[in-house]
Structure 1
Amino acid sequence: MHKTTLEQWALLEKVVESGSFAKAAEATCRSQSSVSYNLALLQKRLGVALLRPEGRRTVLTAAGEQLLARVRPLLKAFWYVEAHAALLTTGVRTRLDLVVDAIFPRGRLFTILRQFQQQHPHTQVNLTEVLESNAAERPEADVMVLTRRQDLTGRGEWLMNIDFVAVAHRDHPLHQQAAPLSGEDLAAYPLIRIAERESDGQDDSLDAAECWTFSTIDAAAEAVIAQVGYGWLPEERIASQLAAGTLKILPMTHGGRRATPLHLIVKDLSSDDRQIQTLTRLFSMPA
């Protein structure tokens, strides 16, 4: 007999996601006392403290992070079993897991999700946004939109290219120099990088005087706007700043514009899975 249950681990994950017992109770339609009791029992049976307070939030301890990381694949596998059971009994998938690289245009993504919701109102889409810096940590899902397609189970095809442009704030010293700019001109200033992205095959850090790495596209863009440095950013994500003139494209001799491919990858599921067919069709439609 196991000491713990998947239900207890799922509640732990919900508390971590929401940041409190009260919000986790609301999200799971339980009483707060029920959530507290189950997690207290979980920790007692394991003999390990999994949670600790941090300000107004409840967060994982170091031991909690390690253990929950090991349990998460089991929770996902169990969700797949339940989703497949619902598909067998009713023909309607209740959950669909989607992984999308963060460079995919946000406006287009939300349009796709809204259209999918209108066609399949009873199917919940669980979206995970990733930066593909480490293929080993990349989660798998029913449908994936990623830059890499090797070492993945399922069938995939090229979807689109994302344009990255070299930019700096309009008042940055680089825009005061004579054009065109060379690599030596750039090397005198900090380079802003996005989570060690290497999918375009370029490693600008070799030529940069110093590199500042940020874990999100938005943070990297804000750093460039604040004149911390210059960097290559997705053109679609900074369109408003370019239009307003806050950011300006650097006039480089070469390499100022780069294209990163995105691929649409689908796990090998039954051909009559209408929800996956709908989602892949929406992604494949012209913008």
Structure 2
Amino acid sequence: MLRITLEQWRMFRMVAEHGGFNQAAEQIHKSQSSIHTAVSKIEQLLGVKVFYVEGRKTKLTDSGEMLLRRANYLLDEAQKVEAVGYTLGAGVEASLRIAVDEVFDKNILYQALEATSKSYPLLRIELFESILSGAHELVESNQADVAISPISLANGVSEQLCTIDFVAVSSPFHPLQQLNRQLELEDLKSFRQIVIRDSAYHKRSDSGWLEAEQRWTVSHLRTSIDVISQGLGFAWLPLSAIASELESAKLVRLPLTYSAIRTSSLFLVFQDGDRLGIAAQMFIERLRDLCRNGA
């Protein structure tokens, strides 16, 4: 039988997070005396001191630090259990938020979305198109339920969904194409590289940049394709996104000795499979099937 309630642990965490009993009381709309009582109960039952006062600040003792780590895990798990319960009780969810890296094959994405919508026509789907860390960040911050991302989750579910081939390309009229020889990576550094901006707000990366002397950074894959088609730079672009441009010769591959093709993995990521609704689970299964069968 548990002798300390989740509510008492929550009050303990709020004091730790806000640096005092008064501040915690304001945040959770409880009386200061009730929070004091909850913390005193924890100290009494466990036989440890969890806080000490330094100036105007209430700080954690070493024992308090250790207990806070465990309490955080306990409270987070309790919240997940409650969310799973709501999902089970609600049946089909009202909305599905999906974050997708722009390099993912659009044909596969649209087929999976259409199949899901046919089965659940009242489902509202929100699609967030992102670059690099963006999709991963949206799932971590609970702004998306499911993501297709080049970055796996540290905590949560991450499974490799597919690989994407990137090819080095330029316009057929670009100066690099006029050299009439095999190219080295060093040759490229003297020319403008087109880079797509990481759409994350935090921890952005410059994946793929060669440290070329000139760089244009754009926000969307389509912009990058248009800029390169007009002879204004070069880049590695996903093969599936530029098939028509290669076929029409608006874009041509750079004759690189090495690294003409780069391969990157995309992961299917979400926080907790038990919290996903029926429609989300169907969308995921359809994605897996389409990627597996090379739709």
TM range, smaller chain: 0.5 to 0.7
Counterparts of 1:43-54 in structure 2, within 5 Å, are none
| Alpha-carbon separation, structure 1, partners of 2:275 and 2:198 | 37
Counterparts of 1:1-287 in structure 2, within 5 Å, are 88-89=89-90, 91-133=91-133, 138-139=138-139, 140=142, 141-151=144-154, 153-195=155-197, 202-205=208-211, 208-270=212-274, 273-285=277-289, 286=293, 287=295
Between structure 1 and structure 2, the one with the greater Rg is 2
What is the CA deviation profile of residues 89-115 of structure 1, one whole-angstrom value per residue up to 9, with x for unaligned ones?
4x2211111111111111221111011
What is the CA deviation profile of residues 179-219 of structure 1, one whole-angstrom value per residue up to 9, with x for unaligned ones?
210123212211111115987964312xx121111111011
Any stretches of 5+ residues in structure 1 without a counterpart? 1-80
| Alpha-carbon separation, structure 1, partners of 2:288 and 2:135 | 24
Q: Which amino acid aligns with 1:218?
A: R
Which SS does the other structure have where 1:224 is aligned?
helix
What is the CA deviation profile of residues 150-199 of structure 1, one whole-angstrom value per residue up to 9, with x for unaligned ones?
33x42120000111110000111111113210123212211111115987
| Alpha-carbon separation, structure 2, partners of 1:95 and 1:283 | 18
What is the CA deviation profile of residues 120-174 of structure 1, one whole-angstrom value per residue up to 9, with x for unaligned ones?
21222221111124688545422111110133x4212000011111000011111
Q: Which amino acid aligns with 1:143?
A: V
The answer as to whether partners of 1:149 and 1:265 remain within 8 angstroms in 2 is yes
Counterpart position of 1:26: none
The answer as to whether partners of 1:117 and 1:123 remain within 8 angstroms in 2 is yes
The answer as to whether partners of 1:200 and 1:260 remain within 8 angstroms in 2 is no
TM score, norm. by length of structure 2: 0.62
What is the CA deviation profile of residues 207-237 of structure 1, one whole-angstrom value per residue up to 9, with x for unaligned ones?
x121111111011111101111111111111
| Alpha-carbon separation, structure 1, partners of 2:85 and 2:161 | 27
Counterpart position of 1:28: none
Q: Compute the displacement of 1:274 (Å).
A: 2.3
TM score, norm. by length of structure 1: 0.64
| Alpha-carbon separation, structure 1, partners of 2:87 and 2:276 | 14
Give the root-mean-square deviation of aligned CA atoms.
Answer: 2.8
Which SS does the other structure have where 1:270 is aligned?
helix
Distance 1:247 1:272, change over 3 A: closer
Q: Which amino acid aligns with 2:236?
A: W
Which SS does the other structure have where 1:236 is aligned?
helix
| Alpha-carbon separation, structure 2, partners of 1:268 and 1:251 | 45
Any stretches of 5+ residues in structure 2 without a counterpart? 1-81
The answer as to whether partners of 2:101 and 2:130 remain within 8 angstroms in 1 is yes
Which SS does the other structure have where 2:186 is aligned?
helix
| Alpha-carbon separation, structure 1, partners of 2:279 and 2:197 | 32
Between 1:271-280 and 1:122-131, the stretch displaced more is 271-280
| Alpha-carbon separation, structure 2, partners of 1:138 and 1:271 | 16
Number of matched pairs:
203
The answer as to whether partners of 2:136 and 2:269 remain within 8 angstroms in 1 is no
